[in-house]
Amino acid sequence: ASVVGMPLVTFKDLCLDANDVPALEGFWARALHLDGEIFADDGSGVLRGDSPGRTMWINPVSEPREVKNRVHLDLVASSLDDFGGLERVPADGDLPWTTFLDPEGNQFCVFVGDKRPPGLKDVVVDSADAQAIASWWADAWGGTLVHDESGYSYIDDVPGAPVESFDFVPVPEPKTVKNRLHWDVTLEPGATVDDLVARGARLLAPPSDDARWTVMADPEGNEFCVFEPS
């Protein structure tokens, strides 16, 4: 394990794209044990917990979910009965988790009886080079980086993040479409978007009248939004 130097950003919250915002808001509020709200003006939703990091925005989009989620959530539950009626994804072998599809087909994995209270456990990211992209994010926001001998890498203790870890898992298939799930970050005081670009991020969209954040992509193309310090 290694602890990295000066971070540029802090974890802010999660964002999920949805075709049917009320359906996903209702489902994920129950699954994550968060309080949900839908905004009448733009049809978006938000889930909130007992800290700012335990927030998930649900954003209406027109494009349907087409491919396996590149980023998904791991959950803790007291029982799999909480997810009765959902489609299960068949497992290869005996795994310590069960994979389900949410009402729009987004994959998520459930661990039963973990030490953590029920709700969000980890964020999992499919990766072309898991070691490299995990190292990049550990460099960007700190935490404790571990390269597991089995081939995946993870970051524990990400400042402000409501998860046990961010897990970066090697997969053979390349990223082809915008991720349905992404995270937002806040710049550390004195850090800039240019600093992220200098480290290998790409600028996708600058702030606008409608959006006060900068849309960026990490070196593997995973989208994330960058906010100025409040």
pLDDT tens-digit map of 86-135? 999 998 888 999 999 999 999 999 999 868 889 999 999 999 999 999 99
Are 222 and 180 spatial neighbours (Cβ–Cβ below 8 Å)? Answer: no
- Residues of the chain with pLDDT > 70: what percent? 97
Pairing status of strand 119-127 against strand 88-89: unpaired
The Cα–Cα gap between 97 and 91 comes to 9
pLDDT surpassing 90 at residue 152:
yes
What pTM does this model have? Answer: 0.95
How sure is the predictor about 227, in pLDDT bands with cuts at 50, 70 and 90? very high
pLDDT surpassing 80 at residue 161:
yes
Mean pLDDT across 32-37: 96
